[in-house]
């Protein structure tokens, strides 16, 4: 008999986004891989990274013109200029995805330098002893 999987709506009354649902198989793959991961693994989220960069949440949605300009300006201020990105990339990958990747790279740089911070701080710990946090 398979163990029952609990869905967020059953536990909280709130569902998950279509994007998260579409990523479920990849999330389960990562969960399996983590138990034998040969390296440290950190979770980052671009909007958390931008909130740390800005000192507040971004003021406009990332897919809006104002949101793109705000995020690109903040990235440049912290040393991540996107001026050298080949314009052809935007035809293959959404501009918001390029900006999100730069935010993730900023967080990774901070983690490697020892200045990254977990949210929550200190991280929560799951039943296996693994720390659970989003890093920025």
Query: What are the tens digits of pLDDT across the range 89-134?
Result: 878 888 899 999 999 999 999 999 999 999 999 999 988 888 889 9
DSSP string, 28-88: HHHHHHHTT-SS---EE-HHHHHHHHHTS--SS-TTSHHHHHHHHHHHHHTT---TTS-TT
Instruction: Please report whether residue 136 resides in a domain.
Output: no
Instruction: Please report whether residue 9 resides in a domain.
Output: no
Instruction: Please report whether residue 59 resides in a domain.
Output: yes
Instruction: Please report whether residue 101 resides in a domain.
Output: yes
Instruction: Please report whether residue 69 resides in a domain.
Output: yes
Instruction: Please report whether residue 23 resides in a domain.
Output: no
Per-residue pLDDT, 50: 96
47-76 average pLDDT score: 95
Instruction: Please report whether residue 34 resides in a domain.
Output: no
Per-residue pLDDT, 9: 61
Instruction: Measure the CA–CA gap between 99 and 32, rounded to whole angstroms.
Output: 29
| Of the candidate ranges 4-8, 57-61, 70-74, the one whose mean pLDDT is the lowest | 4-8
Which of the four pLDDT bands, split at 50, 70 and 90, describes residue 8?
A: low
Q: How many domains does the chain have?
A: 1
For residue 44, pLDDT beyond 70: yes
Instruction: Measure the CA–CA gap between 108 and 104, rounded to whole angstroms.
Output: 6
Domain that holds residue 101: 43-113
């Amino acid at each position: 008999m398979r163990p029952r999987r609990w869905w967020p709506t059953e536990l909280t009354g709130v569902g998950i986004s279509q994007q998260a649902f579409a990523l479920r198989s990849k999330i389960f793959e990562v969960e399996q891989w983590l138990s034998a991961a040969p390296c440290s693994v950190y979770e980052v989220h671009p909007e958390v990274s931008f909130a740390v960069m800005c000192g507040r949440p971004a003021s406009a949605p990332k897919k809006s013109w104002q949101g793109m300009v705000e995020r690109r300006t903040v990235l440049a201020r912290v040393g991540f200029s996107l001026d050298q990105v080949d314009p052809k990339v935007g035809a293959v990958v959404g501009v918001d995805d390029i900006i999100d990747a730069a935010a993730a790279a900023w967080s990774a740089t901070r983690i490697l330098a020892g200045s990254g911070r977990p949210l929550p701080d200190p991280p929560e710990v799951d039943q296996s002893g693994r720390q659970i946090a989003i890093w920025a």
